[in-house]
Amino acid sequence: MGQDADLSGSDRDPVVCRCEAVRVGDLLGARDAWAIDSLRQLKLLTRAGMGICQGRVCGPLLEALARGWGWDPTGALASRPPARPWPMQLARGTDEGGRADER
């Protein structure tokens, strides 16, 4: 971990996540300051990958950084939509046997 260059505050600190304006220096700083050891924790703390594109642009770069730090990025950037399918029979009335009303 200590072998990374200190890029924080530098003009050469590249942006990783454009949606949330997160730079490599932000990720390194959060990783070291909070002793983070997973991409999911880093994502939650820095918001990298949580912007409007939901990590479609920065996801591969974040995963590459995580692999370089020895982390397993599997599933860390999986999108979690705020809605899910709703069974239609719950929207209609049902009798005690669970059958839908025949109206």
Residues contributing to the site for ligand FES (CB under 6 A): 17-20, 49, 51, 53-55, 57-58
Least distance between ligand FES and beta carbon 92 (Å): 39
Residue 16 CB contacts under 8 Å (≥ 6 apart), including other chains: 22, 23, 24, 27, 48, 58, 61, 62, 65
Nearer to ligand FES, 25 or 55 (CB): 55
Least distance between ligand FES and beta carbon 52 (Å): 6
Q: Count of CB atoms within 10 A of residue 63's CB?
A: 19
Nearer to ligand FES, 29 or 51 (CB): 51
Joined together, the tokens standing for residue 37 give 């050891």
Least distance between ligand FES and beta carbon 70 (Å): 22
